[in-house]
Amino acid sequence: MDVALKIWRFDPESGERELREYEVDAPEWVTLLDVLDLIKDRVDGTLAYRKSCRMMICGSCGMRMDGAAVLACKTRMAEIAESGHVPVVSPMGNLPVVKDLVVDMDPFWEKIRAMKPWLEPGYLEPEEDREFHVSQEQTNVINKEALCINCGCCVSECNSMESDPEFLGPAALAKGMRFVGDARDQQTVERLEEYNSEHGIWDCTRCYFCQERCPKGVDPRDAIAKLGAESVRLGVDRDMGAKHAKWFVTSAKTTGWLRETELVPKTQGVVSSIKQMKFAMNLARHGKVPPPFPPHVAKNVKESRKLYELVKQQDRDGAAGIVQGEKALARIEFSEAGGAHRIAPEVEPGVEAPHAEG
């Protein structure tokens, strides 16, 4: 079959950028990486890109196709070629381009290093048989995070990093959760203190692009949510983001809805609220602020309270409340034509999903 690609080329010496089109004859089974190899072998040996394992393990071949980050060795081309579409291939976003499709990964590794990606067992002694025992339940907490191959696809698509390049970002924070959630690590609070600082977990805008693009099912946004939940559970909550999240819970539990008029003082403190009084009065004059007294209570507030109690009864505080129990890769199904799509978590016959009624 004929496979055509447009590739953004970048020459670091001249600083020139150019979109060039290539077409090669390729077997049906080819991936994007195979097509790049064919182009390099047969058409233009100067094309630069990274690769190593060719089997979705090493994380080297991250790049963008039609504006979305992919692993080139995981992306089948047959369906695209048959449709007549000519995809545009470009380097990953949020990282400096070195040449063509090669990006400088140094900023990525700096952030990974900042998470102290090693176990800190402290004075914890192994049990009698000289092994640390970690239960399946404990492992489930970091089941997905442990699958990261450091490809950078999530970083490429991160909106927060685009506006703040110092934001720790989805890959580093997922790595952080991999150690915060490890039952053997004894530096949990110290780690959370660091991850809660400026450019840390609360700067994520929850756009979920990282989750959407991660080729390994790591779900980095879930990892960040787990870090937030663990921070609140362990009292690492001086950041405004943590206070904001805590107020959401209190507000939903007590009245069944979000009392926004109290959100600013609860989150930013009284002084900051006074500074915003003029803005608040303006909103009130235009009928945008409901009267705080008596507080409006949602008709079905009992539902919200039951949900709160259910989570408490299940002892699912902190990260445990976000663990969905699914095996990450089991949710990614590969189609005949290649590519991957997610399937809904399996529901066991006869087992009802937990809900607040009853």
Nearer to ligand SF4, 205 or 324 (CB): 205
Quick one: which H or E segment has residue 17?
A: strand 16-25
CB of 54 to ligand SF4, least distance (A): 16
Residues between 159 and 188 with contacts to ligand SF4, criterion CB under 6 A = 159-160, 170-171, 174
Q: Which does 73 bind (CB under 5 to 8 A by kind): ligand SF4, ligand FES, none?
A: ligand FES
CB of 216 to ligand SF4, least distance (A): 4
Q: How far apart are CA 76 and CA 184, in angstroms?
A: 40
Using CA atoms, how far apart are residues 111 and 175, in angstroms rounded to an integer?
10
Query: What does the block give as tokens for 348?
Result: 């066991």
Query: Across the beta sheet with 88-90, what order do the strands follow?
Result: 16-25, 2-11, 88-90, 62-65, 68-71
CB 189 within 8 A of CB 231: no
| Cβ at position 236, least distance to ligand FES in Å | 35
Closest CB to ligand FES among 60 and 143? 60
Letters for 219-258 (x = contact with ligand SF4 by CB under 6 A, - = none) are -xx--x----------------------------------
Q: Binding segment for ligand SF4 among 189-197, 201-209, 225-233, 255-263 (CB under 6 A)?
A: 201-209
Strands 97-99 and 16-25: unpaired
- The binder of ligand FES chosen from 20, 54, 199, 316 (CB under 6 A): 54
Rounded-to-integer distance, Cα 277 and Cα 269, Å: 13
133 touches, from ligand SF4, ligand FES, none (C-beta below 5 to 8 Å by class): none
Q: Provide the Cα torsion 87, 164, 196, 267; round to 10°.
A: -110
Q: Which does 24 bind (CB under 5 to 8 A by kind): ligand SF4, ligand FES, none?
A: none
Residue 61 vs 154, nearer CB to ligand FES:
61
Residue closer to ligand SF4 by CB (options 163, 314) is 163
Return the number of the residue (59 or 93) whose C-beta is nearest ligand FES. Answer: 59
Pick from 35, 37, 47, 59: which binds ligand FES (CB under 6 A)? 59
CB of 22 to ligand FES, least distance (A): 20
- Number of residues this chain uses to bind ligand FES (CB under 6 A): 12
**Nearest-CA neighbor of 259 among 268, 248, 270, 271?**
248
Region binding ligand SF4 by CB under 6 A among candidate stretches 89-97, 218-226, 257-265, 277-285: 218-226
Q: Compute the distance between CA of residue 256 and CA of residue 259 in angstroms, rounded to an integer.
A: 9
Q: Where are the alpha helices (DSSP H) in 69-214?
A: 78-83, 106-114, 136-140, 153-156, 159-163, 169-180, 188-195, 209-213
Binding residue for ligand SF4, selected from 38, 142, 149, 328, defined by CB under 6 A: 149
Nearest to 158 by CA among 101, 107, 118, 208: 208
Cα 38 off chain centre by: 33
Determine the Cα–Cα distance for residues 98 and 91; give it in Å rounded to an integer: 9
Residues near ligand SF4 (CB under 6 A) are 148-154, 157-160, 170-171, 174, 204-210, 214, 216, 218, 220-221, 224
Residues near ligand FES (CB under 6 A) are 51-54, 56-61, 71, 73
